[in-house]
Chain A
Amino acid sequence: MVKMSSDPATTKVTPLRAQRSLSTPASQANADAQYWAEQMAAVALRRDMDCFMRIYDHFAPRLQRYLLGMGVSAARAEELVQEALLRLWRRAESFDPARAGLATWLFRVARNLYIDSLRGEPHWLPMQEGLDWLDEQAPADAGSSAEAFADHAGLKRAIDSLPPVQARLIRMSYFEAKSHSEIAHELGMPLGSVKSSLRRAFAKLQAGLGGVP
């Protein structure tokens, strides 16, 4: 994929370990998730504008940073951020914190909007919603996936303790949308090593989620 690597925004992507001054300690990650679920419940129940704007104030600038990192122009990124939050408002009733936390939900929507915008062919987001819908029809599994019972702190710890190379590959994937081949080329690593490092990173993060490694 073509990246606008000359865009100064892409150089401002926060390193994985540089979030300490901005976010809460790992022990508070679970409380945070609970807090956002409550704000969202208020939006769903009574269209609470104040609660919505709290969500907006916290997440919009982070989504904006995320999209800038992906190479989206500032103006376009802002449109996508507004679109993602508009969808959140409209779909508030169907938001189920047991299925996905608010950060995960917004990440998915922003990612799908990014893909649609990249291709200039808006079919990806509806298709993804079709996939989500498949599982909404199935009875909720009481397994490890239920995010309401998930260990957010565990994931945060797992992210913070990734070895540097794995952290870098995860960052290049998630924050710069680099394909495996692009990463291999850029770092001068064999493609197989890139993929095996990502596999190991995923296993560690899954373990942090309390999921099946």
Chain B
Amino acid sequence: MRPNHHLDAATLLGYSAGALPAAFMAVAATHLSLCQVCRERLRQADRIGGALMQQQEPAPLSAGAREAMRARLAQLPPAQPPVPPAAAAASDHDRLPLPLRPYFGETFSGLRWRTIGPGVHHIRGPRMEGGDLMLLRIAPGRSVPLHSHGANELTVVLRGAYDDLLGHFAPGDAADLDGDTEHQPVTSPGVPCICVAATDAPLRFSGWLARTLQPLFKL
């Protein structure tokens, strides 16, 4: 998988800084798990973070911290060979990308979709501060009018594909939008298009879903 649409540099910096709202971190991590190019860019951003951290004025730790550290190391059992962490790439076609599993479960087949309009299903992620996380499934060959509301919106395609004025979006591709982008994705024929999306929540959390999904009911 070689995505053609990547994360915005500002998004990457925010990710590296740990400064994106949680929903955006999850969607950005999903793209990163599928995109070697952006992992490389993230490494550069992390080097900036490392350099900045090293330039920080030191803050003293408490008096006993140094000895506590030594004592902890002395008490460690002999080093074990490192266990390779769970691979981020889903080898099994049914498995969700690793970054999404804490929010939506392990597999696509286990997802419990809710219908919100003809051919349109969604699953809301857990409540998060600073933005909403959701999965969307749109039937093939369908046109869905969506607009961002002067907020940030980050979408990654997981399955299927769609086209809009920004181009063709296939699995792994990220649509990283801000401002008042109005777009009207048309899903490709064949299989349903499944996306994961994060949107900035306005201060009133409850109103967002209604406004975003409003156009869908008019299909």
Q: Which residues of A are at the interface with B, using a C-beta cutoff of 8 A?
A: 1-2, 9, 12-14, 16, 18-19, 22-23, 47, 49, 52-53, 56-57, 59-66, 68-70, 74, 78, 81-82, 85-86, 89-94, 99-101, 103-108, 110-112, 114-115, 119, 121, 123-124, 126-135, 138, 145, 147, 150, 152, 155-156, 159, 170-171, 173-181, 191-192, 194-196, 198-199, 201-203, 205-206, 209, 211
Stretch from B8-16, B116-124, B186-194, B205-213 contacting the other chain? B8-16
Q: CA separation between A114 and B79, bound complex, in Å?
A: 25
Tell me the chain B residues, 49-104 only, with Cβ under 8 Å from chain A: 49-62, 65-66, 68-70, 72-73, 76, 79, 82, 84-89, 98-99, 102
Q: CA separation between A110 and B17, bound complex, in Å?
A: 11
A145 touches B59 (CB 8 A): no
A111 touches B43 (CB 8 A): no
* Residues of chain A contacted by B14 (CB below 8 angstroms): 173, 179-180, 198
Output the nearest chain B residue to A62 by Cβ-Cβ distance: B56
Given A82-B68, A159-B51, A199-B8, A52 and B61 contact (CB-CB distance below 8 Å)? no
B150 interface residue (CB < 8 Å to A): yes
A19 touches B55 (CB 8 A): yes
Q: How far is the CB of B91 from chain A (nearest CB, A)?
A: 12
Q: How far is the CB of B50 from chain A (nearest CB, A)?
A: 3
Given A111-B18, A192-B178, A199-B8, A104 and B49 contact (CB-CB distance below 8 Å)? yes
* Residues of chain B contacted by A205 (CB below 8 angstroms): 44, 48
In the complex, 6 of the A-B residue pairs with CB atoms within 8 angstroms, ordered by the A residue number, are A53-B69, A66-B56, A174-B19, A180-B178, A191-B178, A192-B178
Stretch from B31-39, B105-113, B138-146, B163-171 contacting the other chain? B31-39
Interface residues on B, range: 35 or more
* Residues of chain B contacted by A171 (CB below 8 angstroms): 52
Known: A66-B56, A177-B18, A179-B21. 6 other contacts (CB 8 A): A99-B43, A112-B18, A127-B88, A130-B98, A131-B29, A198-B10
* Residues of chain A contacted by B69 (CB below 8 angstroms): 53, 56, 60, 82, 85-86
A173 touches B13 (CB 8 A): yes
